[in-house]
Amino acid sequence: MENRPEYIEQNFDFIVAKGQNPERIDVYLTHSVQNATRTKVKRSIDEGRVLINGKIAKANTKVAPNDIIQCKILKPPPMELIPQNIPLDIVFEDDHLIVVNKPAGMVVHPGYGNRYGTIVNAILYYLGKREPIPIVVNEEDTESESDEEEIDEATIFGSEEIRPGIVHRIDKNTSGLLVISKNTQVHIALSQQFHDHTISREYWGIVWGKLPESSGTIEGLIDRSPQNRKKYAVAKRSGKTAKTDYEVLEEFEFASLVKFKLHTGRTHQIRVHTAYLKHPILGDDLYGGNIILYGGQSNYMRSKAQKCLQIAQRQMLHAKTLGFIHPVTNQEIYLDSELPQDFKDLLEFLRKGMEE
């Protein structure tokens, strides 16, 4: 099953009013088609699916009174959750919650462009669901002008249809421990612990270079990057407070194994903070960790650094431990997870070096 469903074609026909002033076709259609974004209209025009009087239109073509416009716009089908029989690495389970060790490359929850193969799909099946579950969302919230295929995370994450369930998230290419509730009361209680920052979370990561101090704290504001909407950055005036403790566990020639403790849970927090220190997570293609930043002073070192990037096909970050108070039993739960194989392979290579 592919992650992206087949799109639905919608046909729109217009006859331009007699009193219509000259107007670009892309502007006209954006105003005329319900819930159409400029991105969606532009894509239809660029792909030759907009005709004016039977001729393919360009974006800057002006409409005129009595013009006959034919427009075909593609949209994703309605959102629904499909239970899927996907193996889960369950490290803890009782009648109230589950903790899984998420592999790198697996998305936590679905979106319009990534509907299948997620933790949510797997959990629904594991808990006995078999029929698709519709997600009711406002279509205007699901399509942004910059990327119409991406649903706003909060829309799906907060949907009642998947709750109780996902309490927190881990980035797609980060591995590690994730807690999932089995009922609404447990979901609320665990969410409150995350909100109050009483959850204990430690990540292990491999960063480029050697940090100036063996331990420290990174604290400040994190906000969406103005240059790239998919990125976040340390900001001076706006954003949300973020705090990360770090401790260097092991140093290599041009990289370090570092333990991170989260006091807050901002999007991409560790990745943003390490990039801010100019020591990004090795392999992180969004925050500059996918190029050789240290170790380029000799052919041998450059070759070794390049080999590290070949091993690291994703950001080398793992949510290793998770601690919380069980909402029902009030017992302290503390869980540790084994490092994934690619992480261990990279550590072994950094310790041993290349064969002569």
What's the CATH number where 222 sits? 3.30.2350.10
User: What pLDDT is attached to residue 36?
Assistant: 79
Let me know whether 87 and 190 are in one domain.
yes
Count of H helices and E strands in the chain? 9, 18
Stretch among 180-194, 274-288, 326-340 having the lowest mean pLDDT: 180-194
How many angstroms separate the CA atoms of 328 and 51, rounded? 62
Let me know whether 40 and 161 are in one domain.
no
pLDDT, tens digit, 9 for 90 and up, residues 49-107: 999 999 999 989 999 999 999 999 887 777 778 899 999 999 999 999 999 999 999 99
Let me know whether 54 and 105 are in one domain.
no
Let me know whether 278 and 145 are in one domain.
no
Let me know whether 137 and 63 are in one domain.
no
Place 15 in a pLDDT band, splitting at 50, 70 and 90: very high
Most confident of 119-123, 166-170, 253-257: 253-257
* Average pLDDT of the segment spanning 189-209: 95
Q: Which helix (H) or strand (E) holds 325?
A: strand 317-325
Q: Which helix (H) or strand (E) holds 164?
A: none
Residue 30's domain comprises 8-75
Let me know whether 356 and 215 are in one domain.
yes
The domain that holds 57 is classified in CATH as 3.10.290.10
pLDDT at position 292 over 90:
yes
Q: Exactly one of 26, 171, 284, 342 is catalytic; which is it?
A: 171
Angle between helices 341-352 and 299-311 (to 10 degrees): 170
Based on the residue annotation, tell me whether 67 is a catalytic residue of this protein. Answer: no
pLDDT, tens digit, 9 for 90 and up, residues 144-198: 433 333 444 445 545 555 555 888 989 999 999 999 999 889 999 999 999 999 9
The CA-based dihedral angle spanning residues 78, 81, 87, 91, taken in that order and rounded to the nearest 10 degrees: 140
Q: Has residue 336 been placed in a domain?
A: no
Please say which residue of 75, 101, 132 terminates a domain: 75
Please say which residue of 196, 227, 245 terminates a domain: 196
Place 122 in a pLDDT band, splitting at 50, 70 and 90: very high
Q: Supply the pTM of this predicted model.
A: 0.79
Q: Has residue 245 been placed in a domain?
A: yes
Angle between helices 38-46 and 25-32 (to 10 degrees): 130
Q: Has residue 264 been placed in a domain?
A: yes
Let me know whether 45 and 90 are in one domain.
no
- Those residues whose C-beta lies under 8 Å from the C-beta of residue 94, and which sit 6 or more positions away, are none
Let me know whether 352 and 204 are in one domain.
yes
Cβ atoms 148, 103 nearer than 8 A: no
Report the percent of the chain where pLDDT is more than 90: 66
| Angle subtended at Cα 26 by Cα 21 and Cα 28, rounded to the nearest 5 degrees | 35
Q: Has residue 124 been placed in a domain?
A: yes
pLDDT at position 300 over 70:
yes
Q: What is the mean pLDDT of the chain?
A: 88
Let me know whether 55 and 66 are in one domain.
yes
Let me know whether 155 and 268 are in one domain.
no
Let me know whether 32 and 93 are in one domain.
no
pLDDT at position 343 over 60:
yes
Please say which residue of 159, 177, 196 terminates a domain: 196
pLDDT at position 344 over 60:
yes
| Angle subtended at Cα 318 by Cα 313 and Cα 320, rounded to the nearest 5 degrees | 155
Q: Has residue 262 been placed in a domain?
A: yes
Place 143 in a pLDDT band, splitting at 50, 70 and 90: very low
The CA-based dihedral angle spanning residues 80, 86, 91, 93, taken in that order and rounded to the nearest 10 degrees: 50
Let me know whether 143 and 289 are in one domain.
no
Query: Position 77: which residue type?
Result: P
Q: Has residue 333 been placed in a domain?
A: no
Q: How would you classify the pairing of strands 175-181 and 97-102? A: antiparallel
Q: How would you classify the pairing of strands 200-208 and 255-262? A: antiparallel
Q: Has residue 334 been placed in a domain?
A: no
More confident residue, 41 or 36: 41
Task: Give 166's strand partners.
Answer: 180
Instruction: Please tell me the total count of domains within the chain.
Output: 3
Q: Has residue 166 been placed in a domain?
A: yes
Q: Residue 334: which of 342, 345, 350, 322 has the closest Cα? A: 322
